[in-house]
Amino acid sequence: MKPYQPSNKVPSSGFTWLLLSAIAGGVAIGGITWAISNLIYLIILFPIGMGFAGGVANSFGVHQGKVRNPLIAGAFGVFTGLIIYATFFGGDYLKFKQAASEEITKAAGQEIDSATKEKLIDTFLSEKTQATGILGFIKYSAQQGVNIGKVGTKGFTLNETLTWIYWLIELGIISGISGAIAYGSAKDPFCEGCDRWYGDKKRVGNVDENSSQRFLELVNQDNFPRAGEQIDPAANIVANSLEIHLQECPNCPTGDSVMTINRASIDGKGNLELKQVLQGTISRHQQSQFLQAANTPKNTETDGDSSS
């Protein structure tokens, strides 16, 4: 079996889709999260959620744009994380300006034009942080610190240094998850001849722990009839077994198929998880041999005579 490797191609339309998904998805995710955060904000969980949402947006752009370069896709995923977080802070900045504008009007006792209010707000930020605009606001917010605590409790406030560290951790979580999902999406099997993604994975069955090493050896030797004999097509997913899946290009009746072999195991929380062991391409003839052997009823007779 030949290992599957993406072609690393990015069509011109691919960059357009990546940019659109990053900007539109990033602004939407950041804006929605900011709106919810005015009611409740859960540390760690919200950044993880933003990262996954950003990854989904990027994955859409990757598949629509037919992007097969994982590094470029991952970079746009990280970029999406930056946009999400910038939009989140942008919401706080607009809220701050609105509150400051109301205070200015109240203090003046009369309505003041917006340009004057902008200058007064920037003057305030410049005096506090030596910066204006959203950058001055972010610096000012860091000086005020971030309050951390359970819902309904006073909690405690981080100092300026810890606030910057906290924000960097959140940004790292968001961009890291978003980038990882985009990176993985660009590695999905793609048919270069038909210029389309392969179809969904179809489960063939699993190989029990005792036969797993022999199965991998047979696959690496391209002995698919014998490898197929190790498959149990009816077995449920169990820990320490190998799960076998196949993918085909919907347009290529004779094109190569992609075989994915995952190992099922129990994670630290007691949940069943699948980790990829091997992925590669096989010919349709090899696939036919493999499936025929896998679906052939196994000999379940035991030695010895039965007695009445």
Instruction: Specify whether 237 is located in the same domain as 131.
Output: no
Instruction: Specify whether 21 is located in the same domain as 53.
Output: yes
- pLDDT reported for residue 250: 87
- pLDDT reported for residue 301: 47
Instruction: Specify whether 202 is located in the same domain as 183.
Output: no
- pLDDT reported for residue 207: 94
**Average pLDDT for residues 251-265, to the nearest whole number?**
90
Instruction: Specify whether 165 is located in the same domain as 264.
Output: no
Q: Is the pLDDT of residue 187 over 90?
A: yes
Instruction: Specify whether 18 is located in the same domain as 142.
Output: yes
Q: How confident is the model at residue 266 (pLDDT cuts 50, 70, 90)?
A: confident
Instruction: Specify whether 20 is located in the same domain as 61.
Output: yes
Instruction: Specify whether 36 is located in the same domain as 172.
Output: yes
Instruction: Check residues 185 and 148 and name the one with the higher pLDDT.
Output: 185
CB hemisphere CA count around 66 (13 angstroms): 14
Q: Name every residue whose Cβ is closer than 8 Å to that of residue 240 and which is 6 or more positions away in sequence.
A: 209, 212, 263, 264, 265
Residue % of the chain over a pLDDT of 90? 74
In a domain, 307, yes or no: no
Instruction: Specify whether 48 is located in the same domain as 168.
Output: yes
**Average pLDDT for residues 220-243, to the nearest whole number?**
90
**Average pLDDT for residues 139-148, to the nearest whole number?**
92
Question: How many C-beta neighbours within 10 Å does residue 146 have?
Answer: 20
Question: What would the pLDDT profile of 90-127 be if each residue is shown by its tens digit?
Answer: 999 999 999 999 999 888 888 888 899 899 999 999 99
Name the domain boundary from 154, 188, 222: 188
- pLDDT reported for residue 173: 98
Instruction: Specify whether 30 is located in the same domain as 140.
Output: yes
Instruction: Specify whether 149 is located in the same domain as 248.
Output: no
Instruction: Check residues 149 and 175 and name the one with the higher pLDDT.
Output: 175
Full residue range of the structural domain in which residue 285 is found: 198-294
Instruction: Specify whether 110 is located in the same domain as 184.
Output: yes
- pLDDT reported for residue 304: 42
Instruction: Specify whether 226 is located in the same domain as 262.
Output: yes
Please state, in angstroms and rounded to a whole number, the distance separating the CA atoms of residues 231 and 217.
Answer: 14
